Amino acid sequence: SARESQLSLSLSMNNIQRPLDGIRVIALEQYMSGPYCSMLLADAGAEVIKIERPGSGDPRRSIPPFAQKGDIKKAGGFMAYNRNKKSLSLNIRSNSGQKIFLDLVKIADVVVENLRPGSVNKLGLGYDTLKEINPKLIYAAISGFGRLEGYEGPDSQRPAFDIVAEAMSGIMHLVGFEDKPPSWTIYGMADIYSGMCTAYGIMQALFMRERTGKGQFVDSAMLDNMLSLNERMVMLYSITGQVPKRGQLNHLFPRGAFKCKDGYLALNIPDDIMWERLCKVIDQQELIDDERSKTGTARAAHSIELAPIIENWLKNKTRSEAESLLNENGVPVGPILTAKEVFASEQVKARKGLIEIKDPDVGSYRFARTPVHLSSAPEIPTEPAPDLGEHTNEILSSLLNYSKAKIKDLQKHEII
């Protein structure tokens, strides 16, 4: 009957699992790129076991700002990128610690690693070693300049932080204004984007494994990732030989922040059709066919003359008023929001862009959600970032079947 079918559908919906349910990830990670990658996998349902150094753990545990309640304080950056994970405190520099790590690899699907290039190979824990004990293993390595054999460059063994990748991919050269030094974008963008690209690579490798039964090495270089993000610079130089300049586009105008009565509005006019719409809204129809403004190239050349006309129309309007008029007439714009305004945004709330994570020690805080929704999957889990070594005993006893006596001995010798 229809009622029975509806009940059956309801029951099946209640049993739907996350996309990576049943996938086990071992995370040899620190700082941002590795943790963000494995967090995406954890949000998708994977069991992520984060390997941390006994005593200190991931360096981000000690980097401010801190959430604090009473005498307990926790690093916000660590809380933000390590939700839904388990923490195993393990000294992988010791022989006993390496044995535990290898035991975990035998029952794992994925290893995510972003340690300094060469460090895991020196310990005998590189991909060539691990694939021998688990041929189905997918080993994802995040580095500054790449590590896959046959693709090494002169910088392959160098360490890197996000700003280095931004600089060497050409991005920093384009951020800011021509009369000022190059600037970075937002803190950690290269790390976050590299984490996302790596998660995408892992998904491809998992899909291939379904077909071939074999694992593989996933090589994710921060430089490569940022260069792919800077695709327009690559295209422009390849086609025209032009080197783009900071704060200046030669082929279009307006594009940027324009001041209203109560803040700034982001405006972009990519073509002549959009320019015609803008001119009609601001009652400047004569600019539609004016030789100084009828094409993007002409507008870019006369931006000093055109900018005040737009600003004059905006100066007596609120962002909301200007936004409504322009959007209603087919000119997409948006207000430039502060952090406070983002948290109050009804659109962000509707999209559940900020999720609440309740930490048992320092209270509830909101962090950015994984940015993709799936229509047939439940909402992402919201377990707080683990305390250092919180799941050590559980992992060793439940997954590896270590006895209480063996675990106690490992603790005694500071292996865990």
Q: Which residues are tagged catalytic? A: 191
Q: Are 91 and 97 in contact (CB under 8 A)?
A: yes
DSSP structural state of residue 154: T
Distance between CA atoms of residues 13 and 16, nearest Å: 5
Instruction: Tell me which DSSP letter residue 288 carries.
Output: S
Distance of CA 356 to CAs 31, 75, 238, 248, 388, Å?
A: 22, 16, 45, 40, 21
- Three-state secondary structure of 46-115: CEEEEEECCCCCCHHHHCCCEEEECCEEEEHHHHHHCCCEEEEECCCCCHHHHHHHHHHHHCCCEEEECC
Tally of residues, the chain: 416
Among 244, 332, 240, 235, smallest CA distance to 281 is for: 332
**CB-CB contact of 76 with 359 (8 Å):** no
Cβ atoms 63, 75 nearer than 8 A:
yes
Distances, alpha carbon 318 to alpha carbons 153, 323, 326, 334, in Å: 52, 8, 12, 12
Residue 74: strand pairing partners: 67
Closest CA to 35 of 88, 120, 118, 114: 114
Strand partners, 353: none
Q: For residues 264 and 334, is the Cβ–Cβ distance under 8 A?
A: no
CA-CA-CA-CA torsion sign (62, 67, 71, 72): negative
**What are φ and ψ of residue 134, in 5° steps?**
-150, 85
